[in-house]
Amino acid sequence: MYTICFMARRPFEDFSPAVYKKLKEAHDDVKAVFITCDKQESAYIWAKFTEEEKKDIEVCEISEFMNAHWDEFTVDKLTEMEAKYDAAPIWKYIYTDRYLIYRDYDYCVHTAAGLFAFWEYVFNTYHVDFFYDEVIATLLTYAAYLVGKKTGTGYYSLMFMRACGMDLTHHYILNDPFEKMYDMPEDYANIPVTEEQRAAAEAYLSKFEEKHSKPAFMQFSGKKPKWKPIFFVLPFFYLRQRFFNPLTRDKGSYIYYKAYEHTMDQLVFYLRYSKGKKYFKKADYSKKFVYFPLHMQPEATTIVCAQKYEKQLYFIDNLVKSLPADTMLYVKEHYSFLGIRDNSFYEQLQIYPNVVLIDPWEDSIKLIEKSECVATLTGTAGQEAMMLRHPVFMSGDIIYKGAPGVMYLEEVFGNYQKMMSEYKRPTREEVIQYMAVYMSHARPGNTYVMSEARLADDNLKLVAESMYSYFKEMKHE
């Protein structure tokens, strides 16, 4: 019997119950515990099941647990949890949470202690074997990972395949905080591949070299902020959310706590973009430059996978002081992030004479090809540069770390020229070998959270079978 714990908050409130039902149809040895943030989400999940189906499920509500024990979650309790679950220094983990980083000290202490206690209760009470959630980008998930290491509960997530044309058809499984494919071998160069696998990798690489296609998932993002009539009524939405929605004042549901603060975001982003676009410049390709595409923030790719440099101005500061006299740094905003980043960031960039902020709509592949090197923390641009056999260095920890030609640079300051002098361009065959091994570990099934297609019946069956095969493999290790 497998007891699986599923995150069921948004955006998993439809996906997790649907996948579980497919698991249950094919395999009777599965029970489920669903995790919700508040009573509204709990009611939504219970309504998904018949009375008979409810016999094999439990719903655990974070808010209910946190509020019942709030006064117990003191700094002494947090210190206890820090030691008990090998989570020292605890603030390292608190600072990976994209919600808690905006809260005060006392709230962070109570919530952090409570999250560890919550998972301790859930995993031990229901004897959970595996816990499914998003990639680690909150302390909610990180605490589950750390507690699970002690209780024997395995964390896992389903990540869409990056940079190989399979992002809306295939996924891979990760079970660590750094978005790595759990079964991707480090010695990929020595892993035998079939002719079919090699041919598939070469075909994709050839297509990418010729057309430079964008990842399919980007169809869901990358739109310029525009004026909308709804802006006129946003102040009324704010008042309704703040004073008439008790869920936004529920301290125990920390992800939605004070959510009314973001009611005006669409208008703020529009106004910010309208003012900030004056900082964007066209690229001058006659100059030598290093290309650094900015990362979305706060996201797991920075606050977890590149924590040292998640303050990207700090990374830029280290890098620009390390470049040779004839080389600029071209920084390009992520076009899915327009208006979200405060314009003070762009103003800070103006201080650096060898930095140019590039128009978000400039062709990223052209910037890669014309640059001396691509600098990235964990971004897809680094993976694309690797496939083009172009120099790339990364200062984070993510799936393509160790790929051919990718240089890892933990200490950026003063090391750029040394790194470039030691760079050895990989052969095309080396890239094909890496891609063949990488693509061969893809699992059928669309798991991208913004794609409605992931809820299609046939797709849910593929995802459920992927999960079950993983359970069996891990249980027999």
Distance CA 439, CA 62 (A): 37
Q: What is the pLDDT of residue 396?
A: 97
Cα→Cα distances 338→272, 293, 326, 369, Å: 8, 13, 30, 24
Over range 406-426, report the average pLDDT: 97
Q: Which residues contact 228 (CB under 8 A, 6 or more apart)?
A: 266, 270
Q: What is the pLDDT of residue 219?
A: 63
Q: Which range has the worst mean pLDDT, 118-127, 206-215, 296-305, 423-432?
A: 206-215
Q: pLDDT-derived band of residue 216, with 50, 70 and 90 as boundaries? A: low
The residues that bridge with 155 in the sheet, in sequence order, are 131
Q: What is the pLDDT of residue 223?
A: 77
* pLDDT above 70 (res 220): no
Q: Give burial (CB, 10 Å; 0-12/13-18/19+) of 223.
A: exposed
Percent of the chain with pLDDT over 90: 94
Region(s) of the chain under CATH 3.40.50.2000? 277-437
- The token pair at 416 is 């750029």
Domain 2-183+441-475, architecture per CATH: 3-Layer(aba) Sandwich (3.40)
CATH for 277-437, options being 2.60.40.1250, 3.40.50.2000, 3.30.43.10, 2.60.40.10:
3.40.50.2000
Q: pLDDT-derived band of residue 477, with 50, 70 and 90 as boundaries? A: low
Over range 432-460, report the average pLDDT: 97
Over range 77-100, report the average pLDDT: 97
Q: pLDDT-derived band of residue 224, with 50, 70 and 90 as boundaries? A: confident
Q: What is the pLDDT of residue 336?
A: 82
Burial 110-141 (b: 16+ CB within 10 A, else e): bbbbbbbbbbbebbeebebbbbbbbbbbbbbb
pLDDT tens figures, 367-385: 999 999 999 999 999 999 9
Q: pTM, whole model, 2 decimals?
A: 0.95
